[in-house]
Amino acid sequence: MGAALALGLAGAVTVPATGHAAPVDISCPMGSRHTTYTPPLTNTVKPEHLVLTEHFSCVSLLGGVSSGDATSSVDVSTSCVISVQSPLTLPARTFTIGWNTGESSTVTYPATTAVRAADGTVTITSVGAVTDGLGEGQVATQVTVEPNLDVTACATTGLSATNSLTNTLVIAPA
């Protein structure tokens, strides 16, 4: 799904905008997310502090936007075990993406869902809005695919970090 979504997003570009409230259409079909877990993630549900460090490689005709970086955190009760049948709803998250142009976009996701596939990967889908900066008022959609977790680490000392398989972002008019 992540690869198909990334391929579909790669062609989405638009005419350059002159103001922050104007449509911007930034598509980031390639990206990565490094997540750290404190305390280490185990098979037991407990409060976790997650720090997400993200990088996006983008396509846009808007003033040379070609990449962005963001760091954010969220507190959630979770474990290595997420059911295939029922998605996990993660709390709201607000973060700021610093673009290679020196501009920024503040994005707010009111809620995020995470679903584990039969192969153990987890697809995390977030839909929200750009609340400030470049693309203000636009819809932000992010899909991240996390790998199948290390079963041994989850059952023993815990997992302190993961790296995503894919991390895509699209900012576009509603």
Task: Give 27's strand partners.
Answer: 59, 170
Residue 108: closest CA among 76, 85, 67, 141: 141
The DSSP result for 4-51, as a single string, is: HHHHHHTT---PPPSSTTS---EEEEEEEEEEEEEEEE-SS-EEEEEE
Domain boundaries, position 86: 32-105+149-161
pLDDT tens track for 9-60:
333 333 333 344 556 789 999 999 999 999 999 999 899 999 999 999 998 8
Kindly state whether residue 82 falls inside one of the protein's structural domains: yes
Kindly state whether residue 15 falls inside one of the protein's structural domains: no
Structurally, the chain folds into a number of domains equal to 1
Kindly state whether residue 83 falls inside one of the protein's structural domains: yes
Kindly state whether residue 123 falls inside one of the protein's structural domains: no
pLDDT tens track for 90-123:
788 999 999 999 999 999 999 788 888 888 888 9
Confidence of residue 82 (pLDDT cuts 50, 70, 90): low
Kindly state whether residue 172 falls inside one of the protein's structural domains: no
Kindly state whether residue 124 falls inside one of the protein's structural domains: no
Kindly state whether residue 115 falls inside one of the protein's structural domains: no
Rg (the chain; Cα; Å): 16
Kindly state whether residue 133 falls inside one of the protein's structural domains: no
For residue 79, pLDDT over 90 is answered with no
